């Protein structure tokens, strides 16, 4: 499912127009992104948690040449599924 299909499904499920659904989906993504960017996390009980994890700098290898490459430290977004979502999938 891509974003357009998600918007259409939300519009059908909530009985709203596709334009309103598009605004709602965009707002949810924007709020989650802003919270993670600020170092916070988003906890949706029964669905899952969005958080930020820190990866340390490391040394990698270029697979073509075998040369060592420095991989810089960075923050990465994480999602861990909640019990409700896990139970629904299984």
Contact assessment for residue 49 and residue 43, using Cβ atoms and an 8 Å cutoff: yes
Q: What is the mean pLDDT of residues 61-88?
A: 94
Q: For 15-66, how does the pLDDT look when each residue is reduced to its tens digit (9 = 90+)?
A: 999 999 999 999 999 999 999 999 999 999 999 999 999 999 999 999 999 9
Alpha carbons 33 and 42: distance in angstroms, whole number: 10
How many CB atoms lie under 10 A from the CB of residue 29? 11
Query: CB count, 10 Å around CB of 35?
Result: 15
Residues 49, 32, single domain; the answer is no
Contact (CB, 8 A) for 80 and 48: yes
What's the pLDDT band for 89 if we cut at 50, 70, 90?
very high
Nearby residues of 30 by Cβ (< 8 Å), 6 or more positions away: none
- The pLDDT, as a whole number, for residue 11 is 96
Write down the pTM of the prediction: 0.81
Clarify whether residues 47 and 88 are in a common domain.
yes
Q: Are residues 87 and 47 in the same domain?
A: yes
Number of domains forming the structure of the chain:
2
Residue 73 near residue 60, CB atoms below 8 Å: no
Taking residues 67-82, report their average pLDDT. Answer: 95
Domain that holds residue 28: 1-38
Residues 90 and 53 in one domain: yes
Looking at the structure, tell me whether residues 49 and 89 fall in a common domain.
yes
């Amino acid at each position: 499912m891509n974003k357009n299909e998600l918007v259409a499904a939300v519009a059908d499920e909530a009985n709203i127009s596709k334009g309103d659904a598009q605004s709602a989906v965009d707002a949810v993504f924007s709020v989650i992104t802003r919270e993670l960017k600020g170092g916070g996390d988003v906890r949706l009980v029964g669905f899952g948690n969005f958080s930020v994890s820190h990866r340390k700098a490391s040394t990698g290898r270029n697979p073509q040449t075998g040369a060592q490459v420095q991989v810089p430290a960075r923050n990465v977004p994480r999602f861990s599924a909640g019990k409700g979502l896990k139970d629904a999938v299984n």
